[in-house]
Chains A and B, each alone.
Chain A
Amino acid sequence: MNGQMKNKQQIEQEIDKTLESLDGIQRAIANPYLFTRIKARLQKQDKSFWERATGLIARPVFAIATILLIIVINLTLFFQSQGGQTPAATGQEGEQLFASEYNLSGSTIYDATVEPQ
């Protein structure tokens, strides 16, 4: 029992000492050539704008996303054209519309040759 108490006390002492281990800590010093490196980084960023742009386009994720987008647009247009057909564009009326559009409704040579029985 006494040993356990002592052990617990020792652990608490260790914890307190560890928590105090950062007291009086000095600031970590940055690299003396930091500014040169930052400058190089900024220059690299300026230069490689087009490299980064092409790199982004060439990424598989971008390519897959583009393909998916094209498929979605195609499907949307397909279903829209299916569902949105007007009655005027179907059947006989459609043919008439087509004929009038291409000036086929007037008398033709065939009309002229047909004689009434």
Chain B
Amino acid sequence: MDEQFLIEKLKQGDEAAFKQIVETWKDMVYNTAIGILQNEEDAEDVTQEVFVQVFESVGSFKAEAKFSTWLYRITVSKALDHLRRKKRKKRFAYIQSLFGANNETIIEKPDFHHPGVVLDNKERSAVLFKAIDRLPENQKIAFTLHKLEGLSYQEVSEVMKTSVSSVESLMHRAKINLKRTLSGHYENRD
């Protein structure tokens, strides 16, 4: 079915159209979310939240932007909210542990293995994901959309509502930061 037709149908509350939309774009949303969150359960949760929002606010979608761009924007925003919430909780648990109010031990984040990585690259990609996780938000988003979703700089700029040159700059800085983190990792290992 045509994308525009599906959206129009969804605006009328058509469940079949909604199902078709979920089936068509669920992997794209999930893959973006998992790249940012680096956790399968969190990514599934955010994917559900994204489609719930799509269902509730499809009326506000204007055909000026591509539907996939709109979906990417919602995904990125929901994933970042989720990350911030998680960080806040972690910080609060840490403060509680300092005052002895919380006896639970704070568990260090385990290595993340992306399900789409080739077996040979599993260990290396886990190291890379750890470094990606330490990037500033904007660099992380640009890098994830470009590397994991294969978006061009032009497409990334549309999702992030910025210019192509800004995306180029973000990617450049992201690579420098990644190299620095990885260099530290391999120097300490030897």
Contact = CB atoms under 8 A, between A and B. Distances in A.
A15, A22, A37 pick with most chain B CB within 10 angstroms: A22
Interface stretch (A23-31, A64-72, A78-86): A23-31
Contacts, number: 90
A52 interface: no
Interface string B173-190: 001001100110011001
A47 B178 CA distance: 47
B34 A28 contact: yes
Contacts of A34: 22, 26, 30, 44, 47-48, 51
B52 A31 contact: no
Interface stretch (B1-9, B99-107, B115-123): B115-123
Contacts of A38: 22, 48, 51-52, 55
A42 interface: yes
Contacts of A29: 27, 30, 115
A21 to B, nearest CB: 4
B28 A27 contact: yes
Interface residues of A, number: 24
Contact of A15 (B52, B117, B148, B186): B186
Contacts of A21: 117, 121, 124-125, 128
B178 A19 contact: yes
Please classify how large the interface on chain B is, using the bins under 10, 10 to 19, 20 to 34, 35 or more.
Answer: 35 or more
B79 interface: no
Given A28-B30, A28-B114, A34-B22, A18 B182 contact: yes
A22 B117 contact: yes
Nearest to A14: B186
A94 to B, nearest CB: 58
B36 to A, nearest CB: 12
Nearest to B190: A7
B44 A42 contact: no
A34 B51 CA distance: 10
B31 A27 contact: yes
Interface string B114-147: 1111100100110110000000000000000001
Contacts of B19: 35
3 closest A-B pairs by beta carbon, nearest first, are A26-B116, A30-B30, A21-B124
Given A11-B186, A18-B128, A18-B182, 5 more contacts: A21-B121, A28-B30, A29-B27, A34-B51, A38-B48
Interface of B: 19, 22-23, 26-31, 34, 43-44, 47-48, 51-52, 55, 114-118, 121, 124-125, 127-128, 147-149, 175, 178-179, 182-183, 186-187, 190
Interface of A: 7, 11, 14-15, 17-19, 21-22, 24-31, 34-35, 37-38, 41-42, 45
